Amino acid sequence: MAKLGKDWGPLHPPVAAAEATDKLAKTDLSRERQLELYSYMKLNRMVEERLGNLYRQGKVVGGLYSSRGQEATSVGSAYALAPQDVMGPLIRNLGAMLVRGVKPREVMMQYMAKSDSPTGGKDGNTHFGDLKRGLVAPISMLGALIPVMAGVALAGRMQGRDLVALTYIGDGGTSTGDFHEGLNLAAVLHVPFVLIAENNGWAYSTPTSRQMRIKNIAIRAAAYGIPGEIVDGNDVLAVYETTKRAVERARSGGGPTLIEAKTFRMKGHAEHDDAGYVPKEQFEEWRTKDPIDRFERHLLGKGLASEEELRAIVAKIDAQLNEEVDFALASPMPPPERALEGVYEPSEPWEVSS
């Protein structure tokens, strides 16, 4: 794990380099749990590949957002949470949602705007939540979830629940006012909160060097008087162990932590975007650091799994996704009258319609 950088120098190259090594972080996770991490990362990628197919078939009615290359960050961080914890994902955190128990069919129906999607067709993509599963719905305005999740953590403390709140932000999203206001408020209130800053090199077409003059987002933690850590975002074990430490510190009254995960967005901002503005060599460099390939080499190299076992995991996911796609496709489109429903929660005994 890298130390907090002291480099305050001029504009830096856009690639935030993770160490290109197959040596992953140390972990006490059992073989079974490491294979579970592998399954979630594979599921993350394979769901998105299926979504890509559905998109090309014209079944996805809006944009499609990929987290390819960032699976280790989503999966490793969410895997460090306890069942009672609450997580607020962003658009590239499908993996985190899957770890929290979201079914692939739910996301597929969201993208296809189906009647049986979690929002009934009212919202798309990963924009749904369910607090019964400890899941807060994202919004597109970046940074907004940071104070919201600080409030979730505050409520948890007031209610004597043993919960930690965790959310994500991208390198671009750290430029928002809510990033500062929210993290500062979380720090001042000393709430059990973890913020994962995914530094994936690009905010749409804007390189990180045009978002900030610093190399390491994590140094911002010092400005709020909270711990900041940098982690190799393409090492699922490192992300898990680092997040787990932060979650445990938060749970034991140690307040918030900012974790910067160095990773890379291997596709465009959304499916329509060919990312022609990203130098080819950056893709090539980061392809060698693919988090799933690296973890496979780790599992095989350490003798934690055989190639047959990994193939069996993939085959099982593939079969599962056939069913998930069929189910999602079979759901009808929502009835038009639903467009007018549900603006307010009924407020007895004095509900008045507008």
Partner 1 sequence: MATFTYLEAVRQALWDEMENDERVFMLGQDIGTYGGAFRVTAGFLDRFGPGRIVDTPISESAMVGCAIGAAMMGMRPVVEMQFIDFISCAFNQIVNFAAPNHYRWGQQVPLVVRGPAGGNVHGSVYHSQNPESYFHHTPGLKIVAPGTVADAYGLLKAAIRDPNPVLYFEHKYLYRRLKDELPATGTSEGLVPLGKARLARAGRDLSVITWGAMLHVALEAAGRLEAEGIDLEVLDLRTLKPLDQEAILATVRKTSRVIVLSEEQVTGSVAGEVAARISQDAFAWLDGPVHRLCCPDTPVPYSPTLEEAYLPNVDKLVAKVRELSAY
Question: Does position 57 bind partner 1 by CB under 8 A?
Answer: no
- Amino acid at the residue 179: F
Please, which residue, 56 or 338, has the CB nearer to partner 1? 338
Question: Does position 342 bind partner 1 by CB under 8 A?
Answer: yes
**Residues in Cβ contact with 280 at an 8 Å cutoff, skipping those fewer than 6 apart:** none
Please, which residue, 188 or 222, has the CB nearer to partner 1? 188
Q: Can 56 be counted among the known catalytic residues?
A: no
Question: Does position 160 bind partner 1 by CB under 8 A?
Answer: no
Sign of CA dihedral 14, 17, 18, 20: positive
Please, which residue, 284 or 345, has the CB nearer to partner 1? 345
How far is the C-alpha of 213 from the C-alpha of 223, rounded, in Å? 15
How far is the C-alpha of 252 from the C-alpha of 131, rounded, in Å? 23
Closest to 185 measured CA to CA, from 234, 217, 143, 244: 143
Sign of CA dihedral 27, 37, 215, 284: positive
Stretch 122-141 residues interacting with partner 1 (CB under 8 A): 122-123, 127-131, 136-137, 139-141
Question: Does position 119 bind partner 1 by CB under 8 A?
Answer: yes
- Asked if residues 217 and 260 have their Cβ atoms less than 8 Å apart, the reply is yes
Q: Can 265 be counted among the known catalytic residues?
A: yes
- Asked if residues 122 and 134 have their Cβ atoms less than 8 Å apart, the reply is no
Q: Can 127 be counted among the known catalytic residues?
A: no
The contact mask relative to partner 1 for 172-211 (x = CB under 8 A, - = no) is: -----xx--xx-xx--xx----------------------
Q: Apex CA 302: angle with CA 287 and CA 32, to 5°?
A: 95
Q: Which of 160, 308, 337, 352 binds partner 1 (CB under 8 A)?
A: 352
The least CB distance from residue 131 to partner 1, in Å, is 6
Q: Which residues are designated catalytic?
A: 265, 269, 277
Q: Which residues bind partner 1 (CB under 8 A)?
A: 86, 118-119, 122-123, 127-131, 136-137, 139-141, 144-156, 158-159, 165, 177-178, 181-182, 184-185, 188-189, 342-347, 349-354
